[in-house]
Amino acid sequence: MAASVFWHSLLALDADGAPLTPVLTWADTRSAGAAAELPRILDERAVHARTGAYLHSAFFPAKLRWLRQSRPAVWRRARTWCGFGEYLSVRLTSALAASISMASGTGLMDQSTSRWDPALLEACEIEAPQLPAIEDAPVSGLTPRFASRWPRLARARWYPAHGDGACSNLGSDCAGPDRVALNVGTSCAMRLVAPEGLGQGGPTPWGLWRYRVDARRSLIGGATSEGGNVLAWCRRVLALPADDVDLERAVAEIPPGSHGLTALPFLAGERSVGWHSDARGALSGIALNTTAAAITRGFMEAVACRLALVYERLAPLAAPGHAVIASGGALGHSHLWARIMADALGVVLTLSSEREASARGAALLALAAEGAPAPPPLPLGESLAPDPRRHDVYRALGQRQQRLYDNVVGPRLS
């Protein structure tokens, strides 16, 4: 049994293993103030070099400091800090362990040693025994409660959860530097599996993160907190057609960049590439003739422009002539958005035929660990070539967006 689980979640457990907090996800930016305090006591570039992560609200250090300051009763009762994947494992099997993949997404693991980072533990005022053991080996069997519920799985080997981004890359057959994975779901990410050596103690471009697939492979990329959630917000608050086909048609009728709008789509804060925990959305250029469809297109294009910044940093790490393989529900439901992405990135975008890339990736990791042969690669879907004129439009829009960003959000990472 294998599982793909979202990275960066945090739970506090009491002495009996019962949760003291809800699941705190990457989208919870209440620890932005604590994140801003950390660079005063830690060298962020040194932390990034060791852990691949930033001093940002998405990661454990900021959330732990925030909980200590704002929830002192929870802090005193907490005996264990873990993510949802580890909580799932301990509930099902009684074994509390974090895979190297999941541990790398906490912002607390030194990737050169695959151990919890002492300087960060000290800054968070916790000790290593309060965190799960870092272990990729499976455990056998279920607790009595779940063994009786699922007798056919009672003796199965259960692997620790792996990070959804790593699983998504493997599941869409983007397992090396010859393929860059683009995923547009609730949020967005562009990632590549690093070759041996790169990203494992080596340099990672500033603005991008480095996590781990497993003990042998790194994953380098950038993730944005905006994606399908921005389109969902537009649907919820704007007077848009209820039918998907009608909405796509209304947005498609607006020529690229013709609406005069410049948007910052940070409805859930910013991650890559500037890493402002407390950034918020902005929309400039609204006029009397601005329509709901134009605002929607403006935000869709804005998300694509942010991904273009990620790709600009990531592409030099990929092999020459690499392919970009796209997956995710947001693109699967909007051919128009997929075309906007291709035009904004300026590269051929090939759609993956796998609808559940992360689940497939988890299965591939378990098959490999069990010594089973790998299945054949997936057939690829449609390829979308960028239009040079539209690419020029989006490049200019990206420059306009950057000027708005500099004035509204301001510098942090460069």
Query: Is the bond preceding residue 230 a cis peptide, omega within 30 degrees?
Result: no
Percent of the chain, pLDDT > 70? Answer: 98
Q: Are 347 and 324 in contact (CB under 8 A)?
A: yes
Percent of the chain, pLDDT > 90? Answer: 94
pLDDT score for 155: 92
Residue with the bigger pLDDT between 108 and 196: it is: 108
Q: What pLDDT band is residue 414 in, cutting at 50, 70 and 90? A: very low
Q: What pLDDT band is residue 355 in, cutting at 50, 70 and 90? A: confident
pLDDT tens profile 212-267: 999 999 999 999 999 999 999 999 999 999 999 999 999 999 999 999 999 999 99
Q: What pLDDT band is residue 59 in, cutting at 50, 70 and 90? A: very high
Given a cut of 80, is residue 375 above it in pLDDT? yes
Q: Are 327 and 181 in contact (CB under 8 A)?
A: yes
Angle at 229 between CA 382 and CA 233, to 5 degrees: 120
pLDDT score for 197: 54
- The radius of gyration of the chain from alpha carbons, rounded to an integer in Å, stands at 21
The mean-pLDDT minimum among 127-131, 196-200, 399-403, 407-411 falls in: 196-200
Within 13 A of 253's CA, how many CA atoms are on the CB side? 9
Q: Mean pLDDT over residues 44-52, rounded?
A: 96
Q: Are 274 and 413 in contact (CB under 8 A)?
A: yes
pLDDT score for 201: 44
* CA torsion, ordered 248, 344, 269, 326, to nearest 10 deg: 70
Distance separating alpha carbons of residues 7 and 166, to the nearest angstrom: 10
Given a cut of 60, is residue 198 above it in pLDDT? no
- Residue (of 38, 83, 35) closest to 57 by Cα position: 35
- The DSSP-derived string for 169-215 is HHHTT--STTEEEEEESSSEEEEEEPPTTTTTTS---TT-EEEESSS
- Residue (of 212, 213, 223, 219) closest to 189 by Cα position: 223
Given a cut of 70, is residue 200 above it in pLDDT? no
Given a cut of 90, is residue 199 above it in pLDDT? no
Domains of the chain (ranges, CATH numbers): 4-160 (3.30.420.40), 163-414 (3.30.420.40)
What is the token pair recorded at 242? 């209820």
Q: What pLDDT band is residue 349 in, cutting at 50, 70 and 90? A: very high
pLDDT score for 311: 98
What is the token pair recorded at 230? 């921005």
Distance separating alpha carbons of residues 242 and 247, to the nearest angstrom: 7
- Residue (of 341, 120, 310, 119) closest to 220 by Cα position: 310
| One-letter identity of residue 65 | R
Distance separating alpha carbons of residues 318 and 283, to the nearest angstrom: 34
pLDDT score for 189: 97
pLDDT tens profile 101-146: 999 999 999 999 999 999 999 999 999 999 999 999 999 999 999 9
pLDDT score for 413: 61
Q: Burial of 168 by CB count in 10 Å (0-12 exposed, 13-18 middle, 19+ buried)?
A: buried
Q: What pLDDT band is residue 277 in, cutting at 50, 70 and 90? A: very high
